[in-house]
A and B are shown apart, each in its own frame.
Chain A
Amino acid sequence: MIFSVLGSLFKKPATIKYPYASFRMPDHFRGQPKFDSSKCTGCRLCIRDCPSQAITITKVGDRKFEASIDLGKCVYCAQCAETCPRKVIEISTDFELAQTDRGTLKVTFHAEPAAGACPDEST
């Protein structure tokens, strides 16, 4: 062990000077859930499986659904993504989600006719 300890003296420290140095999480890291409303069928299995009732689905038109995720309630377990039969919910690696106002933690994914998911950070 002593050789690897002494060898550490001559290597660069393993410390990443976050936040002054940028840092990417590994690929399968469970960060913020993202919702693609173009694929949603409104089955609401995600709401049934969410342990903290963080997601709500609202119907805004014929086969058009909007999702609203409360990032404060979400426990980032990715159960919604696992349960969804159409793979509508995708888990990104975003983890810098802190806000100073609790209201801004609710993220709404609108159903745009042309484009796909459109996250909007408003109540």
Chain B
Amino acid sequence: MTAAAALFQMLIFPGFFFLIILGLAGQFVDRKLYARLQNRVGPPWFQPVADFFKLLGKESVIPEEADKRMFTLAPVFALGAVIASSFYIPLWNAKPLLAFEGDLLVVLYLLLIPTLTFFLGGWYSRSVFSTLGAVRSITQLFAYEIPLLIAVLSPALLANTWSISGMVQYYTSHPGRWLFNLIGLAVAMVTLLGKLEKVPFDIPEAETEIVAGTFTEYSGRFLAFFRLAIDTEAIVSASLVAAVFLPFGFGLAPWLAFLVYLAKILAILAVLALLRTVFARLRLDQMINFCWKVVAPIAFLQVLVDLVVKELS
């Protein structure tokens, strides 16, 4: 692949630019569904774009006591990590941009970085609400990350490979085997709510309690990029869940595979929006209890199922 083609793929399609557009569209879908489920009208389709440009035009205030460098770099790192992790995920092509044995773990670790940047950004804002939000964000990380890792690694156990593209190849050549991973899909959806800080796990950004948590002191272009990073993280995490647990439709014609990919992302976002509508916010200790005592054992159950299937096949 030439350097120009690689750059195009990384920066425009299906890389940076395309993911950002998809992220903004995903935010619109989420907000519109959330509103319609509550019998409201909801924002128009261009609302996320308008919000982004509006925030870019506002004054970016950096608090006097804040650490300037960490404050400004945190959103950049969040967006960068999310885009980098998307290079290893097969979206609708069975071969992603980059692939190697073990890239599943790399993607999971890269998707950890946004939460760390929320913590660092909030911590270095040197404000009471930011510190509270930052610490809660990291505490929540300890709760949901283990079940998520276990759930995402169990299809890899069955496929005998640590590479996402390898898993897609395995499940495409053994059609129907992905049905054994449905428990893992349920676990991944629940922990995805925690990762994306959506209700019922949106304690770090509890608007009614601690203003805006981590993002209290953020304004202007820093907030614009943080929100963009969050939206893109939603799309990339949904793509990861789709590639790992719903690995069908990769062998079709390119435009059909693209439509299947969009349908999968839409379905995952719809489930997230529905869960967001129906549930109330959990307290931090309730959430940790739930994740460790209920979700993690179910994730181990998925591992058991996959080991049994692996032995029998």
Q: Which residues of A contact B (CB under 8 A)?
A: 1-2, 5-6, 8-9, 11, 13-15, 17
Contacts and interface: CB of A to CB of B under 8 A. Distances in A.
B36 to A, nearest CB: 5
B40 A15 contact: yes
Contacts of B41: 13, 15, 17
Interface SS of chain A? loop
Given A1-B278, A2-B278, A9 B36 contact: yes
Given A2-B278, A5-B278, A13 B40 contact: yes
The 10 closest A-B pairs by CB, nearest first: A15-B41, A8-B39, A14-B39, A13-B41, A5-B37, A9-B36, A13-B40, A8-B37, A13-B39, A15-B40
A50 B78 CA distance: 61
26 contacts: A1-B278, A2-B274, A2-B278, A5-B37, A5-B38, A5-B274, A5-B277, A5-B278, A6-B37, A8-B36, A8-B38, A8-B39, A9-B33, A9-B36, A9-B37, A11-B39, A13-B35, A13-B36, A13-B39, A13-B40, A13-B41, A13-B42, A14-B39, A14-B40, A15-B40, A17-B41
A118 B149 CA distance: 76
Contacts of A2: 274, 278
Pick from A1, A8, A11, A14 the residue with the most CB of B within 10 Å.
Answer: A8
Nearest to A11: B39
Interface in B28-66: 33, 35-42
A17 B38 CA distance: 16
Most buried by A among B36, B39, B277: B39
A9 to B, nearest CB: 5
Contacts of B37: 5-6, 8-9
A2 B35 CA distance: 15
A7 B241 CA distance: 27
Nearest to A13: B41
A13 B42 CA distance: 9
Nearest to A17: B41
Contacts of A8: 36-39
A6 B39 CA distance: 10
A4 to B, nearest CB: 9
A68 to B, nearest CB: 42
A109 B42 CA distance: 44
B190 to A, nearest CB: 16
A5 B42 CA distance: 15
A15 B43 CA distance: 12
Contacts of A9: 33, 36-37
A15 B38 CA distance: 11
Contacts of B277: 5
Contacts of B33: 9
Contacts of B278: 1-2, 5
Given A2-B274, A11-B39, A13-B42, 10 more contacts: A1-B278, A5-B277, A6-B274, A8-B36, A8-B38, A9-B33, A9-B36, A13-B41, A15-B39, A17-B41
Contacts of B42: 13
A36 to B, nearest CB: 42
B83 to A, nearest CB: 33
Contacts of B38: 5, 8
B273 to A, nearest CB: 10
Nearest to B35: A13
A15 B36 CA distance: 10
Nearest to A5: B37
A7 to B, nearest CB: 9
Contacts of B35: 13
Nearest to A12: B39
A56 B180 CA distance: 81
B11 to A, nearest CB: 37
Interface string B207-235: 00000000000000000000000000000
B276 to A, nearest CB: 11
Nearest to A9: B36
